[in-house]
Structure 1
Amino acid sequence: MSFLSAPPKLVIFDCDGVLVDSEPLYIRTLHRLLQSYGAPLTFQQCWEMFVGKTSREVDAYLKEQGLNAPSHWNKDFHEQSNALLEKEVQPVTGIQQVIKQLANAKIPICVGSNGHPFTVRMSLEITGLLPWFDGNVFTATDVGASKPAPDLFLHAAKRAGINPEHCVVIEDSATGMKAAASAGMRCFAYTPESIPAPSNLFGAHPFQSMTTLPNLLGLVPA
């Protein structure tokens, strides 16, 4: 069944973990680096603390724990994670069909990501998704504020000329779900069984498979 009274007029996709299956690669890289600095974190703890977050949160953790990390840790992280992305990143299972159905329904789509602009575009290009979004890829750099601030989603809606209440956000992190709620947008939370779900969904409706998303968006008859 659809959870919307009418199909949305704009769908805003987060990138990492929603369009491209990159979150495990990022967290694997970050976990390895943090352990090398002496952080007493398991992979699960690292995931729960940092998925969807920015380098500022990592910096705060390093200072809080008194860990002796080099000043260039962020550069090391991006170099190592980008190398891993080039080798291993794949589109999220089922996302191509979702995008095609939205295109067939003539519903505009865009990307709203906290990621670095270069990395976001690289991931989309490697996975073959970039042509669907080219010209409509927005990052926190565009607005000077990262999620959970609503600025990025509001910017995407403004660029499309769509009121926030007619937009839907597809997210996988609590950070993004909070941003969607603050922007006054309906949000669907992608929570596959293989990945720990956020403890707080901020009112987002969870779904576990991309095959169910078109139906939730009202694109497939119930």
Structure 2
Amino acid sequence: MIFDCDGVLVDSEPLYIRVLLRLLQSYGATLTFQECWEMFVGKTSRDVNDYLKEQGLTAPDHWNKDFHEQSNALLEKEVQPVSGIQQVLKHLANAKIPICVGSNGHPVTVRMSLERTGLLPWFGDNVFTATDVGIPKPAPDLFLHGAKMAGISPEHCVVIEDSATGLKAAASAGMRCFAYTPEIIPAPANFFGAHPFQTMATLPNLFGLVPA
């Protein structure tokens, strides 16, 4: 089972969007929080640069560095695990189902978030980011890399995602996918065939898993 990190394992997406929105508004953007969320959750700095160019907005060359510094500072203070995720990981461990992380996030930030929330020991070295494959989601490469590292064929993998970017990547990889869509978060406009669920507590039941 392959987990996205931000928004699936750690409740970091609102923190990222708060920082990004503040920076974009300082460059002259007129986005609301929800618009910023819908445009950039699961995306990369390249997507932000494309938006700035399309809107005719100018940002300092170091904006990405500012974003990471401010985001990391906020994560250090406020990041929490997604509600119910510890129980999901316990179920999977009891069932001896291999797991890994497949994230578009910066490798240092991803591992820091997992460590701060106490989730890193569940994954150990099985934490993969777009840096490992050279291309971010929605390309399928990252998920295919996770499957290859586990020695499991893509059709026997399951992805847990929360963004359209990740859902599309899972579909392109030929993997079954479940979309985490908590009520308080805007749902993706396209699920790409993924099965939506609203609480982590329901996820083990979808696979018929019970505590050992």
Alignment TM class, shorter chain as reference? over 0.9
Match of 2:57 in 1: 67
Shift of 1:12: 0.2
Q: 1:210 aligns with which of 189, 200, 211?
A: 200
Deviations 1:168-210 (A, max 9, x none): 0000000000000000000000000010000100000000000
Unmatched 5+ stretches in structure 2: none
Q: Is the partner of 1:83 in helix, strand or coil?
A: helix
CA distance in 2, matches of 1:71, 1:119: 21
Shift of 1:218: 2.3
Q: How many residues in Structure 1 have an aligned counterpart in Structure 2?
A: 211
Q: How does 1:6-155 map to 2 (within 5 A)?
A: 11-155=1-145
Q: 2:168 aligns with which of 169, 173, 178?
A: 178
Unmatched 5+ stretches in structure 1: 1-10
Shift of 1:134: 1.1
CA distance in 2, matches of 1:79, 1:217: 39
Whether 1:156 aligns to 2:146 is yes
How large is the Cα RMSD of the aligned pairs? 0.9
Shift of 1:167: 0.4
Match of 2:191 in 1: 201
Q: Is the partner of 1:111 in helix, strand or coil?
A: strand
Question: What amino acid is aligned across from residue 33 of structure 2 in structure 1?
Answer: F
Segments of 4+ moved more than 6 angstroms: none
Q: Which has the higher contact order (CA 8 A, sep 6+)?
A: 1
TM-score normalised by length of structure 1: 0.94
Question: What amino acid is aligned across from residue 209 of structure 2 in structure 1?
Answer: L
CA distance in 2, matches of 1:215, 1:208: 13
CA distance in 2, matches of 1:58, 1:218: 40
Match of 1:190 in 2: 180
CA distance in 2, matches of 1:92, 1:217: 19
Q: Is the partner of 1:206 in helix, strand or coil?
A: strand
Question: What amino acid is aligned across from residue 117 of structure 1 in structure 2?
Answer: P
Shift of 1:68: 1.8
